[in-house]
Chain A
C-alpha cells in the first residue's frame, strides 16, 4: 500500500480534477448562453415578433414561425396530455404490479428515449403520405407523441408519492374510483403533474427533427392546420444554414427566444418539484 502522503496526494489530485470537470461543464453552459445572448440580442427587436419571414435582405421577422409553433404545441398538448395523464394513472393505480403495466412502462421508456427524428418519419408515413401533403396537423401529432411519454413518466412518479391513506379515506366514504382519482389523487399530485406538463411543453417547443417531415415549415402566414405550417425550430434550421447575414441574425434571435423559453420552463418545473419534496 502506498504511503499515507502519496494516498493523500492522489485524493487531492482527483478532487481537483473532479472540481475542474464540474467547472468545465458550467463554463460550457455559460459559453452557450453567452453565444446566444451576444448574437441573439442585437438581432432581437420588435420586428421579430410583428413581421413574418421575408426574402433575404427584405427585413422580416419570425411572427409566422412563433404563431405556428404555438399552435402546434398547444394542439400537441391538448392531444398528448390527456392520454399521458390517463396512461400514467393507469400505471400508478390500476396496473400496479401487473405484467401489462410492466410492458407499458417499458414501451413508454422506449418512446421517451426513441430518436425524435424517427417519430417524424413515422408520422410522415402515417399522415403525410396518405393525405398527400405536409400539414400542421401532422406536426402537432408528431409533437404529441413526444409529449405523451414525458407526461406518463412524471404522472406515474407523482401519483406514487400520494399516500395510500388518502385513497383509502376516499374509498371508505364510498367514492367510486373515478371520483377518488380525479378529486383526491390527481388533486394531491397537482403540482407534480403540472411539472410534467411543463417539461413536456419544454421538450415539444425545442424539437426540430420531428417537424422536418410533418409540418415542413412555411415562409408565409400560416394558421391553416391542413397546410404546411411554420415553426420556430424549423425557421432557425433553415435560416442558420443559409448564406444570408440577415437570415442568420434572425436565426440567432429565434434561438435565443426558444432557449430562454425552454430553460425558464425547466427551472420553473424544478422549483415546483423542489417545493414538493
Chain B
C-alpha cells in the first residue's frame, strides 16, 4: 500500500494485479510512455548521426583543416569553416556583451524597483520580445535598423575611432549598415528576454532573510543586489548567460538579413560577414544534391551542433547547480 502512494510505475503493478481492467491496457499504456521517452532520445541520436554522416565526405576531402580553413570558394570547390565559425562566435559574443548589462539592469528593475502591480505586465511585455518570430527581427533589422546604423551610427564611429591605432581596425570600411555589429545588436535584443527571465527566476530564489539582514545593517537596494543577491545566484546566472549565448549561436533568419553575407574574414565590426547558420540558409539553394558544397554545408551544420551542444550542456550544469540547491 505504501508503495502505491508514490504513484510511480514500478509500484502500480501491485494495483493492476488486483484489477483485471488494467491487465492488458496498462502494459500497453506504460509501453507507449516509455516508447515516447525513447523516441526523443532517438530523434537527437538521428540528428547527430545524419549531420555527421552527411558532412563526412567534406571532412574526408579537406581534412581536419576544414575547421579553420578560411577559403569558401564554390568555383574552385575549396571549402572551409573558418570564416563562419569566426562569424558565429563573434556575433554571438557581441550579442552577449550588449545584452548582459541590460539584463542585469532589467532584472534589478523587475525584482527590486518596479511597483508590484507593474511587475507582471512589464515582465510579460519583455518576454514577448522572445516570442516575436526570428524572421520579423530580420525584416525589421534589414529595413529599419540597417539604414539607421548606416546613416547615423557608423559614419561618426568610423571618423572618431577609425584613426586610432589597433582599436581603429575594428571600425574600418564603408558604412554599409549591415555587418557583424548590426547582427550582434539584433541578436542581443533577441536573447535579452531569455537571460532576463532566468536572472529574475534566480534572484527570486534568494532567501528573503539574507536580503533583509543586509537591509538591516543599512545597505542600499543596489548594494543588496550587488553584494547579496547576485553573488548568491552567480553560477546560475553564468548558466543563464551561456543559454543566451547558445541561442545567439544558432539564430538564422534574423542574422541572414543583417550580417551582409560575405564569406571572407575581416577584423572590422562594420564589415559584412557570415555565420554558420546564415551560410547554410543562403548557400543551400545553390548546392545540388550530393555535391561537395552540400556536404560542406552539412559539415558546417554538424560543427554548429557541436558548438551549441557544448554551450548548452555547460549552461544546464551551471543553472541546475543553483536552482535545485
Interface residues of A, Cβ cutoff 8 Å to B: 7-8, 10-11, 14-15, 17-22, 24-26, 28-29, 31-32, 35-36, 39, 82-87, 89-91, 93-97, 100-101, 103-104, 106-111, 113-119, 121-122, 125-126, 129, 145, 148-149, 152, 164, 167-168, 171-172, 174-181, 202, 205-209, 212-213, 233, 236-237, 240-241, 251-252, 255, 258-259, 262-263, 266-267, 270, 274
Contacts and interface: CB of A to CB of B under 8 A. Distances in A.
B136 A259 contact: yes
A176 B128 contact: no
Given A18-B105, A89-B36, A241-B257, 16 more contacts: A11-B221, A26-B126, A31-B140, A101-B37, A107-B40, A107-B41, A115-B251, A117-B281, A174-B18, A174-B19, A176-B25, A178-B29, A212-B281, A237-B253, A259-B133, A262-B133
B222 A15 contact: yes
22 contacts: A14-B108, A20-B105, A21-B105, A82-B36, A83-B39, A86-B36, A89-B33, A94-B34, A107-B40, A110-B313, A121-B54, A126-B50, A164-B7, A168-B5, A177-B30, A178-B25, A179-B22, A202-B131, A237-B138, A240-B257, A255-B135, A267-B128
B304 A115 contact: yes
* Interface of A, helix, strand, loop or mixed by DSSP: helix
Nearest to A237: B135
A2 to B, nearest CB: 10
Given A83-B36, A178-B25, A179-B22, A171 B15 contact: yes
B270 interface: no
B183 interface: no
A205 B284 CA distance: 22
Nearest to B23: A176
Contact of A114 (B193, B298, B305): B305
Contacts of B142: 240
Contacts of A83: 36, 39-40
Interface of B: 4-9, 12, 15-16, 18-19, 21-22, 25-26, 28-30, 32-37, 39-41, 43-44, 46-47, 50-51, 53-54, 101-102, 105-106, 108-110, 113-114, 120, 122, 124-129, 131-140, 142-144, 189, 192-193, 220-223, 243, 246-247, 249-253, 257, 277, 280-281, 284, 289, 297-298, 301, 304-305, 308-309, 312-313, 316
A122 B220 contact: no
Nearest to A9: B220
Contact of B51 (A8, A122, A262): A122
A84 B35 CA distance: 11
B247 A94 contact: no
Given A22-B105, A208-B253, A259-B132, A118 B304 contact: yes
Given A83-B36, A148-B40, A263 B221 contact: no
A83 to B, nearest CB: 5
A5 B243 CA distance: 39
B106 A18 contact: yes
A171 B7 contact: yes
Contacts of A178: 22, 25-26, 28-30
Contacts of B35: 86
Q: Which 5 A-B pairs have the closest CB atoms?
A: A176-B22, A115-B250, A206-B133, A86-B36, A178-B29
Contacts of A111: 40, 43-44
Contacts of B316: 106, 109
Nearest to B126: A25
B9 A93 contact: yes
A135 to B, nearest CB: 14
